[in-house]
Amino acid sequence: MKILYLLIPLGFMVMGIALWAIIWAVKNGQFEDLEGPAHRILMDDDDPMVPSFNKSAEKPQGTDSDLNNKSE
């Protein structure tokens, strides 16, 4: 019977920590995108439809007015 004096407060502390963890996760947006990671794993990196962020894919140097002057 004396063990209940230890287990009941310990149970409430564990429940409080779990409740705090769930509230923290909801406030920080951990449950916002549940389907994105599942779809991302199916996408192939070699697919040309996937945008690449390589240096060769960057916009040419110079402003738009410089590019228009070169074409004339």
Q: Is the pLDDT of residue 46 over 80?
A: no
| Residue 40 confidence class, pLDDT cut points 50, 70, 90 | confident
The structural domains of the chain, with segments of one domain joined by +, span 1-46
Q: What is the mean pLDDT of residues 40-55?
A: 65
| Contact (Cβ atoms closer than 8 angstroms) between residue 50 and residue 43 | yes
Can you give the pTM of this predicted structure?
0.49
**Residue 52 token pair:** 């690449």
**Residue 70 token pair:** 């070169």
More confident residue, 20 or 40: 20
